[in-house]
Amino acid sequence: MGSKERIQRLKEDTRINILDAALDIVKEDGWQALSMRKIADKIEYTAPIIYEYFSNKEGILMELTRQGYILLGKEIKKVKSEYTKADEQLEAMWTAYWNFAFKHKEFYQLMFGVDMNCCEQKKTMPEIDYVDNMFFDSIKDVMASEEPEEDLICRKYYTFWSIIHGLISINMVNKGRNEAMNQHILKDALKGIIKYINE
């Protein structure tokens, strides 16, 4: 390996270490505790080195948001491929969304601003569009109309999202009910929306 490749690899390793340290801090103390100084202390670098990779904390938050959407997109795509019927795909995708929220709580909190002051998300992030489009396509597949109007698909998406995100937020902030009850509520909500999706 040449010196240029070695330097590039070291830079990428440092960048990954910064992001990993940020997530570790958040897992230990919450998003409000995250600062450039704490990240530098955690990886035993000086703060100016962190600024060579990210111009500010907002840059770190945006990159972690992007990574969260990549991870969510992979998980949703995987479960969608496990079913052939459109309604089963849609239910599995929203269940995967739910599971992602609790398996990767810190990512979800950042991506959707749950129980934290969130950075203003820019809708130009292609990873966000990728996840949204998977849901839009599956909703369209479930709808009876050959070519449902885009506004109707969008309305159904936001019906799903508002209910599922609301349930997740309740559970993250107030702890919600026990896991068995949460699963019943989730299944009832998904089956109810899918049943009436064409009305």
Q: Output the pLDDT for position 122.
A: 47
Instruction: Kindly tell me if the per-residue pLDDT of 119 is higher than 80.
Output: no
Question: Same structural domain for residues 73 and 33?
Answer: no
Statement to judge: residues 23 and 110 lie in one domain? no
* 139, pLDDT greater than 60: yes
Name the residue range of residue 21's domain: 1-55
Same domain? 46 vs 90: no
Cα of first residue to Cα of last residue in the chain, in angstroms, is 61
For the chain, the average pLDDT equals 89
Amino acid at 144: A
User: Cα dihedral sign for 128, 131, 137, 143?
Assistant: negative
The CATH number covering residue 7 comes to 1.10.10.60
- pLDDT tens track for 178-199: 788 888 889 999 999 998 887 6
Question: 68 and 50 share a domain?
Answer: no
Please write the tens of the pLDDT for every residue from 16-52.
999 999 999 999 998 889 999 999 999 999 888 899 9
Q: What is the DSSP string of 37-74?
A: HHHHHHHT--HHHHHHH-SSHHHHHHHHHHHHHHHHHH
Question: Cα–Cα distance between 158 and 156 in angstroms, integer?
Answer: 5
Q: Are residues 175 and 111 in the same domain?
A: yes
- Alpha-carbon dihedral sign for residues 168, 171, 176, 182: positive
CA dist 180 → 95, 97, 167, 187 (Å): 14, 17, 14, 11
Q: In terms of domains, do 108 and 50 share one?
A: no
Average pLDDT over residues 173-180: 73
The closest of 93, 100, 107 to 135, measured between CA atoms, is: 93
Tens-place pLDDT, residues 76-112: 999 999 999 999 999 999 999 999 999 999 999 999 8
Rounded-to-5 percentages of helix, strand, coil across the chain: 75, 0, 25
Phi, psi of 120 (to 5 degrees): -70, 115
Whole-angstrom distance, CA of residue 67 vs CA of residue 38: 21
Same-domain status, 78 and 44? no
How many structural domains compose the chain? 2
